[in-house]
């Protein structure tokens, strides 16, 4: 019987890149309790739990919940282990805590994309394989990224069922009272890496996926009174995939990147940025849904926005100030953004909510100081904004 929610079967736009990448598909977390994480995402983000895999669907070692917005343009998967011998999940979770195991891109041809990536230097994790049922088949493959993270290639063109084989309608029928948030899709995915790894991983991604370095923030570009970092943004040449990579830089105290790699015990995904067309409504409703955001910048930040003479910003500055939303003007456009607090027990992964206005393509360089000072205030509360002692 054909399911009433179909995530495959309708090919996406024709890609304009050499790898045949159509865009971000889903992000998958390995977590301690997938059911709890599914509820939290449904409540805070206003997402729907749309598909489930577990013992009831013939998978006795793990369970997964897929969440999406109404248009199925944003997909988040949460997975946890059910048995002691589910080592791939247990080993990840015990070391890193709750975190992103893989992000997936939809491609025209999985085998071709995987072979090209490997020929160009990617480390293979899973060779192309087919999963099928009475509704058709899905093909997937994966390559290595960072320490224990993966990039997954997937194609649904020949599948007409519920997400992919092995998934069914969710059994989780709890009524969740929440407000609609209007989030749309993934804008970019950010990785945090160790000292001297940024150039390596930027080169790895560019070479493997035929990407390019779009932005490079060097020494002194991103710093506060206490800490600093370096960053490169790599992207597909048609800009459908964008991935900043951060590493620590010398400072008086430990940077947010140091805190991440220490608490995560390795390099990995620091945050996922989610697009919206109306960030004021999105953030207001997410706050009412229970989402915690970083503390607001000082009043002088918004006074500076009010005193601009170009009248470029069309949003009410009072609304931005009330909600703590940051605004960075770049040329004739501007970017609105706000960052959540870490969503798990460890101070590692968080989300960004972002709206690009009038053609803005950057990542909020003008907001870096306000943002990182807010992160440092939380670091200090956790006892992780430590002074770096001189080594012998």
Whether residues 117 and 207 share a domain: the answer is: no
Domain with 339, as residue range(s), is 183-382
- Tell me if 10 is assigned to some domain: no
Which pLDDT score, from 0 to 100, does residue 14 have? 76
Token pair recorded at residue 310: 């170009």
Lowest mean pLDDT among 184-193, 267-276, 303-312, 341-350: 303-312
Whether residues 195 and 146 share a domain: the answer is: no
What's the whole-number average pLDDT of the chain?
A: 88
More confident residue, 167 or 171: 167
Which pLDDT score, from 0 to 100, does residue 338 have? 94
More confident residue, 31 or 161: 31
**Domain end position, chosen among 155, 172, 207:** 155
Token pair recorded at residue 178: 């929440």
- Tell me if 168 is assigned to some domain: no
Which pLDDT score, from 0 to 100, does residue 361 have? 82
Alpha carbons within 13 A on the beta-carbon side of 373: 12
Whether residues 218 and 287 share a domain: the answer is: yes
Which pLDDT score, from 0 to 100, does residue 3 have? 34
Q: How many domains does the chain have?
A: 2
**Residue 9 pLDDT more than 50?**
no
The DSSP secondary-structure symbol of 46 reads -
Whether residues 233 and 88 share a domain: the answer is: no
Q: What's the predicted TM-score (pTM) here?
A: 0.90
Overall average pLDDT of the 50-56 stretch = 93
Whether residues 332 and 377 share a domain: the answer is: yes
- Tell me if 170 is assigned to some domain: no
**Residue 311 pLDDT more than 90?**
no
In tens, the pLDDT along 55-93 reads: 999 899 999 999 999 888 999 999 999 999 999 999 999
**Domain end position, chosen among 137, 155, 173:** 155
pLDDT-derived band at 229, boundaries 50, 70, 90: confident
- Tell me if 230 is assigned to some domain: yes
Which pLDDT score, from 0 to 100, does residue 13 have? 63
pLDDT-derived band at 389, boundaries 50, 70, 90: low
Report which of 197, 233, 239, 236 is spatially closest to residue 217, judged by C-alpha positions: 233
In tens, the pLDDT along 102-117 reads: 999 999 999 999 999 9
Quote the CA–CA distance of 389 and 172 in Å, as a whole number: 51
| Beta-bridge mates of residue 276 | 183
Which pLDDT score, from 0 to 100, does residue 330 have? 84
- Tell me if 265 is assigned to some domain: yes
Report which of 180, 145, 159, 110 is spatially closest to residue 28, judged by C-alpha positions: 145
pLDDT-derived band at 186, boundaries 50, 70, 90: very high
**Residue 375 pLDDT more than 90?**
no
Which pLDDT score, from 0 to 100, does residue 175 have? 81
**Domain end position, chosen among 155, 174, 191:** 155
Overall average pLDDT of the 15-23 stretch = 90
Lowest mean pLDDT among 3-7, 105-109, 199-203: 3-7
**Residue 372 pLDDT more than 90?**
no
pLDDT-derived band at 268, boundaries 50, 70, 90: very high
Which pLDDT score, from 0 to 100, does residue 284 have? 97
**Residue 24 pLDDT more than 90?**
yes
Whether residues 145 and 254 share a domain: the answer is: no
Quote the CA–CA distance of 135 and 82 in Å, as a whole number: 27
Over pLDDT 90: what percentage of the chain? 67
More confident residue, 143 or 5: 143
Whether residues 147 and 189 share a domain: the answer is: no
Whether residues 258 and 369 share a domain: the answer is: yes
- Tell me if 162 is assigned to some domain: no
Token pair recorded at residue 262: 């220490």
Quote the CA–CA distance of 274 and 74 in Å, as a whole number: 8
Whether residues 99 and 201 share a domain: the answer is: no
Which pLDDT score, from 0 to 100, does residue 366 have? 67
Token pair recorded at residue 5: 């929610």
Could you tell me the CA-to-CA distances from 260 to 86, 247, 359 in Å, in that order? 26, 10, 32
Whether residues 129 and 273 share a domain: the answer is: no
Query: Which CATH number belongs to the domain containing residue 91 in this structure?
Result: 3.10.180.10
More confident residue, 207 or 312: 207
- Tell me if 102 is assigned to some domain: yes
Which pLDDT score, from 0 to 100, does residue 10 have? 39
> Torsions phi, psi of 362, nearest 5?
-80, -160
pLDDT-derived band at 2, boundaries 50, 70, 90: very low
Overall average pLDDT of the 205-230 stretch = 83
- Tell me if 164 is assigned to some domain: no
Whether residues 213 and 340 share a domain: the answer is: yes
Which pLDDT score, from 0 to 100, does residue 392 have? 41
| Beta-bridge mates of residue 92 | none
**Residue 11 pLDDT more than 50?**
no
Alpha carbons within 13 A on the beta-carbon side of 43: 15
Whether residues 112 and 230 share a domain: the answer is: no
């Amino acid at each position: 019987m054909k399911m009433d929610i179909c995530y495959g079967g309708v090919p996406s736009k024709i890609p304009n890149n050499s790898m045949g990448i159509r865009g971000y598909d889903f992000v998958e977390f390995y977590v301690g309790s997938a059911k709890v994480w599914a509820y939290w995402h449904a409540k805070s983000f206003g997402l729907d739990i749309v598909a489930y895999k577990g013992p009831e669907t013939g998978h006795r070692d793990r369970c997964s919940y897929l969440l999406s917005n109404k248009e199925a343009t944003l997909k988040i998967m949460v997975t946890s282990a059910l048995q002691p011998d589910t080592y791939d999940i247990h080993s990840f979770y015990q070391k890193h805590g709750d975190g992103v195991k893989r992000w997936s891109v939809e491609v025209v041809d999985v085998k071709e994309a995987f072979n090209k990536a490997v020929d160009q230097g990617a480390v293979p994790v899973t060779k192309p394989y087919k999963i099928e049922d009475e509704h058709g088949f899905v093909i997937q493959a994966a390559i290595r990224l960072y320490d224990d993270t993966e990039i997954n290639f997937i194609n649904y063109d020949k599948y007409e069922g519920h997400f992919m084989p092995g998934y069914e309608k969710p059994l989780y029928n709890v009524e969740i009272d929440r407000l609609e948030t209007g989030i749309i899709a993934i804008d970019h995915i950010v990785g945090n890496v160790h000292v001297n790894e940024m150039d390596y991983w930027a080169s790895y991604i560019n070479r493997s996926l035929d990407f390019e370095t779009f932005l490079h923030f060097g020494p002194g570009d991103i710093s506060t009174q206490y800490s600093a970092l370096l960053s490169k943004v790599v992207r597909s040449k048609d800009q459908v995939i964008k991935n900043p990579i951060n590493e620590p830089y010398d400072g008086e105290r430990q940077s947010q990147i140091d805190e991440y790699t220490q608490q995560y015990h390795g390099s990995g995904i620091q945050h996922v940025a989610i697009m919206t067309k109306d960030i004021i409504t999105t953030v207001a409703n997410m706050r009412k849904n229970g989402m915690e955001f970083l503390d607001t910048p000082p009043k002088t930040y918004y006074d500076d926005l009010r005193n601009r003479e170009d009248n470029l910003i069309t949003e009410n500055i009072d609304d931005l100030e009330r909600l703590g939303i940051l605004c960075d003007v770049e040329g004739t456009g501007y970017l609105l953004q706000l960052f959540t607090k870490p969503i798990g027990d460890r101070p590692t992964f968080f989300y960004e909510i972002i709206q690009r206005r009038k053609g803005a393509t950057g990542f909020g360089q003008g907001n870096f100081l306000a943002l990182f000072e807010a992160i440092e205030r939380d670091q200090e509360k956790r006892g992780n904004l430590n002074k770096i002692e001189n080594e012998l």
